[in-house]
Amino acid sequence: MSRSAHPAGPRHADVLPEGHYSAPAADLNVLDEKVWSRTVTRDADGALTVGGIAVARLAEEFGTPAYFLDESDFRARCRAWADAFGPDADVFYAGKAFLSRAVVRWLKEEGLNLDVCSGGELTTALDAGMPAERIAFHGNNKTVAEIERAVEAGVGRIVLDSFQEIVRVAHIAQRHGVRQRVQIRVTVGVEAHTHEFIATAHEDQKFGIALADGQAAEAVRRALALDGLELIGVHSHIGSQIFDMAGFEVSARRVVQLLAEIRDEHGVELPEIDLGGGLGIAYTSDDDPREPHEIAKALSDIVGRECEAAKLRTPRISVEPGRAIVGPTAFTLYEVGTIKPLEGLRTYVSVDGGMSDNIRTALYDAEYSVALVSRTSDAEPMLVRVVGKHCESGDIVVKDAFLPADLAPGDLIAVPATGAYCRSMASNYNHALRPPVVAVRDGEARVIVRRETEEDLLRLDVG
Ligand code: LLP
Q: Give the SS3 label for residue 443.
A: coil
Query: Are 58 and 438 spatial neighbours (Cβ–Cβ below 8 Å)?
Result: yes
What atom in ligand 1 is closest to the CA of residue 159? 3
Give phi and psi for 70, each to the nearest 5.
-85, 95
Q: Give the SS3 label for residue 52.
A: coil
Which residue among the candidates 78, 117, 307, 391 is catalytic per the annotation? 391
Q: Which segments of 278-342 does DSSP mark as H helices, in order?
A: 292-310, 323-326
Is the pLDDT confidence value at 6 over 80? no
Q: What pLDDT is attached to residue 196?
A: 59
Q: What pLDDT is attached to residue 9?
A: 45
Per DSSP, the residues of 65-112 read SEEEEEHHHHHHHHHHHHHHH-TTEEEEEETTS---HHHHHHHHHTT-
Sign of the torsion formed by the C-alpha atoms of 352, 357, 362 and 367: negative
Residue 442's region, left for phi above 0, alpha for psi from -120 to 50, else beta, is left
Average pLDDT on 328-334 reads: 99
pLDDT digits (tens, 9 = 90+) for 303-327: 999 999 999 999 999 999 999 999 9
pLDDT band of residue 234 (cuts 50, 70, 90) is very high
DSSP 8-state class, residue 12:
B
Pocket lined around ligand 1, Cβ cut-off 6 Å: 94, 96-97, 115, 138, 198, 237, 240-241, 276-279, 320-324, 360, 364, 420-421, 425
Lowest mean pLDDT among 20-34, 270-284, 288-302: 20-34
With a pLDDT cut of 70, the percent of the chain lying above it is 93
pLDDT digits (tens, 9 = 90+) for 144-183: 999 999 999 999 999 999 999 999 999 999 999 999 999 9
Q: Residue 159 to residues 5, 145, 241, 294, 428: CA-CA distances in angstroms?
A: 60, 16, 22, 26, 31
> How close is the Cα of 197 to the center of ligand 1, in Å?
10
Q: Which of 141, 136, 130 is nearest to 159 (CA)?
A: 136
Single-letter residue type at 56: A
Q: What pLDDT is attached to residue 164?
A: 98
Question: Which residue's alpha carbon is nearest to atom 9 within ligand 1?
Answer: 277
Domains and CATH numbers, the chain: 13-70+328-460 (2.40.37.10), 138-321 (3.20.20.10)
Its pTM stands at 0.95
pLDDT band of residue 4 (cuts 50, 70, 90) is very low
- Indicate the helix (H) or strand (E) that contains 372: strand 371-372
Is the pLDDT confidence value at 96 over 70? yes
pLDDT band of residue 14 (cuts 50, 70, 90) is low
Q: Strands 396-404, 437-441: parallel, antiparallel or unpaired by DSSP?
A: unpaired
Query: Are 234 and 255 spatial neighbours (Cβ–Cβ below 8 Å)?
Result: yes
pLDDT digits (tens, 9 = 90+) for 29-72: 999 999 999 999 999 999 999 999 999 999 999 999 999 999 99
Query: Are 303 and 254 spatial neighbours (Cβ–Cβ below 8 Å)?
Result: no
**Active-site residue, 307 included:** no
pLDDT digits (tens, 9 = 90+) for 390-439: 999 999 999 999 999 999 999 999 999 999 999 999 999 999 999 999 99
